[in-house]
Structure 1
Amino acid sequence: MTTARHLATIDRLRALPFPRAPGPAPPDSPGYHLAELRTEERVAPDEEREQCAAERDAVAVVLGLRWGAPQTFSLWSLTARAADGEEIPEPWAALSRRVDDIDLWRRDGRWVAIGVTRAQGDDPRRLLVAVTAADPP
């Protein structure tokens, strides 16, 4: 049931129009949707990573059957480029602050990215999805 809920969320986000980019962005800047797929379940901290990774893998298998194998995209370079002062467009900047790597598909003019957040203090790991028309930098 969890995989089905995650897929329904992804499908809903893909169908929604994008909101206007926040801040002083030009009106034609591509918007995006960023959502946490896995938030409600609590497991022991040493099991969080495995649980989130298993859920990501299950979603990736189904999306792979629909759209083909994902690209695996490391966000490390975006983090390094941002640290050097480069402005990274959203949602890629937000993802790179929270996720090490993503599974990525392009379908119908939109990118779909899923990834597991890094451990940050007491915050539980999360399974994130981003849907955007903006190409990865």
Structure 2
Amino acid sequence: MNIARHIALIDELCFRPFTAERTSSNGDESGPGYHVVVLERGHGDCGARAETVEQYEKYRDALEERLADRWSETAPYNLQTVSLRTGQEEIPEPWASLSARARVACLWEAEGTGRWVAVCVADLDEADDVKLLGVATEIAPP
């Protein structure tokens, strides 16, 4: 993992213009009010998958430490409670799709940008690769 590169990309997402329509390329997504990028992607079967998840959680925590120095420490954001709410209410993107892909996110309001930043490990879909995701959105978490 190149932490400096990941931080630089997250910084760029805080100022990158949003797209009018949803677009997707190589796992990255953009749409009205949000960007989701794949910072790391891991392949693997059962045993290797668990190791990849563990490693990406360490990467997420390392990014959390660096970003918390900048934007302050925050409690983990439970995406599973958001997932449970999708049956009763309309959850906006990117939060709805993140809650289907990850359990928890590190989350900050990026001062001076008008955006929220999240970092999470997307590992809920066993048929998909494990991914470390970076998110920037003007849509407040539900």
Determine if the TM-score, normalized by the shorter chain, exceeds 0.5. Answer: yes
Shift of 1:21: 5.0
Counting only pairs closer than 5 Å after superposition, residues 1-137 of structure 1 correspond to structure 2 as: 2-20=2-20, 22=22, 31-39=33-41, 42=43, 44-84=48-88, 86-107=89-110, 108=112, 109-137=114-142
Q: CA deviation at 1:67?
A: 1.2
CA pair 111-21 structure 1, distance change in 2 beyond 3 A: farther
Contact persistence 2:79–2:103 (CA under 8 A) = yes
- In the aligned structure 2, how far is the partner of 1:79 from the partner of 1:128? 17
Q: What's the TM-score once normalised by structure 1's chain length?
A: 0.84
Report the TM-score when normalising by structure 2. Answer: 0.81
Give RMSD over aligned pairs.
1.9
Alpha-carbon distance between aligned partners in 1 of 2:75 and 2:17, rounded to the nearest angstrom: 24
Q: Give the percent of matched residue pairs that are identical in Structure 1 and Structure 2.
A: 40
- Measure, in 2, the Cα distance between the counterparts of 1:65 and 1:114: 15
Give unmatched runs, 5+ long, in structure 1. Answer: 23-28
Residue type at the aligned position of 1:10: I
Equivalent residues, number: 129
| 2:39 counterpart letter in structure 1 | L
Mark the runs of 5 or more structure 2 residues left unpaired by the alignment. Answer: 23-30
